[in-house]
Chains A and B, each alone.
Chain A
Amino acid sequence: DTAVSQTPKYLVTQMGNDKSIKCEQNLGHDTMYWYKQDSKKFLKIMFSYNNKELIINETVPNRFSPKSPDKAHLNLHINSLELGDSAVYFCASSQGDGQPHTGELFFGEGSRLTVL
């Protein structure tokens, strides 16, 4: 069974389009995250949710909107895609108690977004 799964794994789209990436975890964790890994391989936190509540919202454009319908799901919607949005987006989860990153992170396989 896949612990953290995200779809799609690959996404190629044109500038200006709107796209979504979905993430689900079956580990029973309370906290979920979205990370962006750029071409230089830096992992940057974008958002963190604990029990459906937003607890980290780093400085990302408001074109990025996360949604957590329940604590097992955290989706990422991106409006008006730009070339600089091309990256690998990782979903992750951890057993936190409201403080993010108190436990090890379990990552999904990543979604490679290419904006043309």
Chain B
Amino acid sequence: GQNIDQPTEMTATEGAIVQINCTYQTSGFNGLFWYQQHAGEAPTFLSYNVLDGLEEKGRFSSFLSRSKGYSYLLLKELQMKDSASYLCALLDSNYQLIWGAGTKLIIKP
């Protein structure tokens, strides 16, 4: 079966850097997504990784290690507006999206 784990909640300081980890177990893999979801709003796409390595997109970067079943989302120069839930989602061999429960990120001044 498939399983996705990510921390329930994290706290960081404005201007700092935070890394949100996601570990997964799956028999087949077609990529891993990160989405951002502000409270009461819809999830919005952040990144998609299918090959090992780091993908950088502005202040946000996403890393994947397929052999370790591990990904992280790195947020730099944190802003108050980054307070949100960050959802890790795995695309399995049947192209089904399996979602993690999300990590609630709290930014403090």
Contacts and interface: CB of A to CB of B under 8 A. Distances in A.
Pair from one complex: yes
Interface of A: 4, 40-45, 56, 90, 99-102, 104-110
Interface string B77-109: 000000001010101000111010110000000
B42 A104 contact: no
Nearest to A105: B45
Interface in B21-66: 33, 35, 40-45, 48
Nearest to A98: B95
- Report the interface size class on chain B: 10 to 19
B42 A110 contact: yes
Contacts of A107: 42-44
A43 B40 CA distance: 14
Interface of B: 33, 35, 40-45, 48, 85, 87, 89, 91, 95-97, 99, 101-102
B79 to A, nearest CB: 22
A43 B95 contact: no
Contacts of A102: 95
B17 to A, nearest CB: 25
24 contacts: A4-B42, A40-B101, A41-B85, A41-B101, A42-B101, A43-B43, A43-B87, A43-B89, A44-B99, A90-B42, A90-B43, A100-B95, A101-B95, A101-B96, A102-B95, A104-B48, A105-B45, A106-B45, A107-B42, A107-B43, A108-B42, A109-B41, A109-B42, A110-B41
